[in-house]
Chain A
Amino acid sequence: MIELKAEGLVKNYGPVKALRGVSFTAREGEIVGLLGPNGAGKTTTMRILASLLKPSEGRVLLNGREIWEDIYSYRNSIGYVPENAELYPHMSGYEYLVFVGRLRGMGQESKTRAKELLYLLGLGEKMHLPISSYSKGMKQKVLISSALLHNPQILLLDEPLSGLDSFTVLVMKALLKLLSREGKILLYASHILEVVEKICSRVIIINRGLILADEGVARLKELRHHESLEGVFKELVVEENPYRVAEEILGVLKGGET
């Protein structure tokens, strides 16, 4: 049983405390949703799990072993889709995937797999064009392909559906479920409640660097007596009444009329 464990993660950016003791465990076959408003600490958590950042305190363990003890083997077992990626603009999508595949030690196999993935994600005709000419959604497809390329055991997905067309979104939702059935660990960070509710088997609600809830989606709704995840989220995270804020915005708009 593969197990990814975050233990007491604290991250300080100068005076700003981005994480204040985040702990959770993700097991194989689970799709764990990391849900929270902007600035909650989702991306920082993901970056620590992706070994891009070192926490100020706490540690990340894979099967009981701290990831930094054998970082290269850990990095080989993860696929990561960052929230805002700056790909190399002069490379084509295909070249980028082959480049990443080679750095992962895949050799010639990276070429075939890159082509197949790009075709399946609808980039077949444009795979040899430079990334600088790609739209946001196309870049996102390249990123997703690069995360899947080496068939990793753990997938860290930070807002992976942003910018994708509706067909690819459907493909991705189905794919994530299939991957979880294959026994992979999936961590899915997002602030879009509906997607997390539909895809994830378990949800971690995070705000201001603290975990507010960590349960299965159904159990969480049951515990908090809500019919949807939106209700739970409002109860735990939202401090202001959204309807009142909406009314105020409308008031501003009406006041601005001359």
Chain B
Amino acid sequence: MKYVVAPLLLPYRAWAMDTSWRENFYFLGLCGAIMGIVSLLHWRELFLSRRDAQNLSYLPISSLSIFLAKSLSLLGFVGLFSFSMAIFSSPLFGLGRAKVYGNSLWFFLKFSFAHGASVFALNLFVFLSVLSLSGFFTLMLGKNSSRFAVYFQSGLLIFFLSVLGIMDRLAAGLSLEGVREGRFLKIPLLWFTGVYETISGINPKAFHRPFFLAITSLVFLFAIFIAEYWIFYALQIKGKSAGDYKAKEKKEAFSGILRVFFPRPLQRAVYQFVKNVFASSPRHRLLFFAYVSVPVGLFSVKIARLLYHRSFSHIFLFQFMHLFFSW
């Protein structure tokens, strides 16, 4: 069965047992990129918003309850998403590895769990990263955050699309020796392959540091989320409107700059009209930048591949177009 199913799941190379961790790395790359793109689409709903504050703050419920409810719902979201991603791949990874390291139900369950856990941990990492950034923008810019964050979202979208495009090259460039020597520690994806290998118990020594980094990064990101959450709460209760006055000052300064570039009233009017068409709502802005991001993402991948002196992968194009059109 593995000869039929595995190439469908991992089309760029034949199933190779001794490099199962690299297959896991590749798979995690795809999962992380998709999780990242989905998180970006839900950017506004991730962190507590003014809407939450307005609707919930005067009700007789504690801020701790709101925090727990928010955290659990986000965790549930990541959990369900990871489950759907790992439900077919986990048994495959389990079967493949169990065949080599011990053909028993225990090994099958252990390896399947290891794969599922690494997918969940990585998705949580990507999600918490996007969440922390969303929180940062909300805290820094208040109600103007959605207007400015969209530029940053576009950048992230390009990044995630590029990750999809270079994953096969990245995975092919890895070696167990390099992992042992700590050469790839700057690649966060590898940290979560460390989760896979450590729970599997196959290469725990080589992957000890990546595993440690994976756990530390998750704790660190969760701590950032808690800190941002409490700062948001404290600012809300103290009255955040001060930010609005600052925003007004910034707006006045911006209109001064605008006059330099567009000295005639008609030019400014045209600029405002075009800007308002594209930026009439956060959804409009994200859609606009998503379309801009796709060619930029493709271009980035092309450049990355030229740097590697390799030709453009047909598989990437297929995967990318499939993902884009199904989305």
Contact = CB atoms under 8 A, between A and B. Distances in A.
Interface of A: 11, 13-16, 18, 44, 47, 50-54, 71-73, 75-76, 78, 80, 82, 85-88, 100, 103-105
30 contacts: A11-B239, A13-B239, A16-B245, A50-B58, A51-B57, A52-B53, A52-B54, A52-B58, A52-B236, A52-B237, A53-B237, A53-B238, A54-B237, A54-B239, A71-B60, A72-B60, A72-B61, A73-B60, A75-B58, A75-B59, A78-B58, A80-B58, A82-B54, A85-B54, A86-B50, A87-B55, A88-B55, A100-B59, A103-B60, A105-B60
Given A11-B239, A52-B54, A103-B61, 7 more contacts: A13-B242, A16-B242, A47-B239, A51-B58, A52-B53, A104-B59, A104-B60
Contacts of A86: 50-51, 54-55
Contacts of B50: 86
A75 B239 contact: no
A80 B55 CA distance: 10
Contacts of A78: 58
Nearest to A44: B239
Nearest to B57: A52
Interface residues of B, number: 20
A54 B58 contact: no
B62 A53 contact: no
Interface of B: 50-51, 53-62, 236-239, 241-242, 245-246
Nearest to B45: A90
Contacts of A16: 242, 245
A44 B59 CA distance: 18
A80 B53 CA distance: 14
A82 B56 CA distance: 12
A103 B54 contact: no
A76 B60 contact: yes
Nearest to B234: A54
B140 to A, nearest CB: 15
Nearest to A147: B58
Contacts of A82: 54
B60 A75 contact: yes
Contacts of B57: 51-52
Q: Which of B54, B56, B239 has its CB near the most chain A CB atoms (within 10 A)?
A: B239
Q: Which of B56, B60, B61, B246 has its CB near the most chain A CB atoms (within 10 A)?
A: B60
Contacts of B242: 13-14, 16
